[in-house]
């Protein structure tokens, strides 16, 4: 009620918005002031204005009501079925077979929504593009922008190689032991130096054997014995358990990979963007959690 009085500029106007009588609104604001022991408003016959205490409380009141509205909006979106078309761009790694249930479940969850899914690692500026929503992965968080963003999941990064490749070269015990080993990049530019958490660590030279924008093809080359491949734990936990791939230097601290949902700031609260993001947050972290269970 206090926030409504300030937003509208009068007790009478706030009462109309809240569908209450002006006397009820005035009574509750007075009770709030009595409870706090501070005057929140200066009242005259012509206008109201904020005291210093009122200005401070107003910021908190706005955050509280915005949070409540966001929560209620999420519940409403869960109930309603969106219609129309939604264009989404996702990292190339999202086509990995481990996510097949997620993608089929996403399409099934929104039967009236025409989803267009684009898979690739080129960063697309959403303004002026055909896309309404982007999922972006990385090791350093997100760069500052005017977009809205929400973290979807976090998973470990593992370095793996084929059992034959490791048998030929010997199991590495330290970073130095990887000197001269072949490196497979996906996406291009993801070197060992990028992944190692310790900025002071001495990273050996590892010649890049191949670069690509497909984690599936990276796994194929790795399984064929062509080099070391750094990838998301969820993708390779099963091949490592089965002995087809070997995890290298498991005690080496590597930066985790994070996936964020990103959308333009002007997207309305009723947009299906929010429902798709809610669905992704609810389901994608389970893949990382499942991998952790299999690892143990």
CATH superfamily, with its number, for domain 157-248: Periplasmic binding protein-like II (3.40.190.10)
- For 106-124, what is each residue's pLDDT tens digit? 999 999 999 999 988 776 7
Output the pLDDT for position 77.
Answer: 57
Listed range (79-93, 220-234, 274-288) with the worst mean pLDDT:
79-93
Class of domain 84-155+257-295: alpha beta
**In terms of pLDDT, which residue wins out, 171 or 186?**
171
Where residue 72 falls among pLDDT bands split at 50, 70, 90?
Answer: confident
Judge whether 266 and 140 are in contact, CB under 8 Å: no
Q: Say if 2-79 and 84-155+257-295 have the same CATH topology.
A: no
Where residue 296 falls among pLDDT bands split at 50, 70, 90?
Answer: low
Where residue 252 falls among pLDDT bands split at 50, 70, 90?
Answer: very high
Where residue 141 falls among pLDDT bands split at 50, 70, 90?
Answer: low
Contacts of the segment 289-295: beta carbons below 8 A, 24+ positions apart = 290/234, 291/155, 291/156, 291/233, 291/234, 291/237, 292/233, 294/237, 294/238, 294/241, 295/233, 295/237
| CATH, domain 2-79, list 1.10.10.10, 3.40.50.300, 3.30.420.140, 3.40.1710.10 | 1.10.10.10
Q: What are the structure tokens assigned to 242, written together?
A: 């089965």
Judge whether 150 and 261 are in contact, CB under 8 Å: yes
Q: Are strands 84-90 and 113-119 parallel, antiparallel or unpaired?
A: parallel
**Domain assignments of the chain as residue spans, ordered by start:** 2-79, 84-155+257-295, 157-248
**In terms of pLDDT, which residue wins out, 28 or 268?**
28
Radius of gyration of the chain (CA): 26
Output the pLDDT for position 185.
Answer: 92
Q: What percent of the chain has pLDDT over 90?
A: 55
């Amino acid at each position: 009620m206090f926030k409504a009085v300030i937003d509208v500029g009068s007790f009478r106007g706030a009462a109309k918005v809240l569908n209450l009588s002006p006397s009820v609104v005035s009574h509750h604001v007075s009770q709030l002031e009595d409870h706090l022991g501070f005057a929140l408003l200066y009242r005259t016959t012509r206008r109201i204005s904020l005291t210093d205490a009122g200005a401070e409380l107003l910021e908190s009141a706005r955050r509280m009501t915005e949070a409540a509205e966001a929560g209620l909006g999420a519940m409403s979106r869960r109930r309603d079925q969106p219609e129309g078309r939604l264009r989404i761009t996702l990292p190339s790694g999202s086509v990995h077979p481990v996510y097949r249930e997620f993608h089929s479940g996403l399409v099934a969850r929104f039967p009236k929504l025409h989803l267009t899914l684009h898979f690739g690692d080129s960063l697309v500026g959403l303004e002026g593009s055909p896309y309404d929503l982007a999922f972006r992965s990385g090791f350093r968080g997100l760069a500052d922008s005017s977009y809205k963003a929400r973290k979807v999941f976090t998973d470990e990064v593992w370095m793996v190689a084929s059992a034959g490749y490791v048998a030929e070269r010997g199991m590495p015990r330290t970073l130095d032991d990887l000197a001269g080993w072949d490196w497979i990049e996906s996406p291009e530019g993801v070197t060992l130096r990028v992944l190692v958490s310790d900025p002071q660590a001495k990273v050996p030279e590892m010649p890049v054997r191949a670069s690509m924008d497909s984690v599936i093809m990276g796994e194929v080359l790795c399984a064929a014995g062509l080099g070391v491949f750094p990838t998301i734990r969820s993708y390779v936990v099963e091949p490592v358990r089965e002995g087809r791939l070997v995890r290298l230097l498991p005690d080496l601290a590597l930066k985790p990979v994070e996936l964020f949902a990103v959308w333009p700031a002007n997207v309305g609260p009723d947009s299906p963007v929010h429902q798709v993001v809610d669905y992704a947050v609810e389901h994608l972290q389970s893949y990382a959690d499942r991998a952790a269970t299999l690892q143990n």
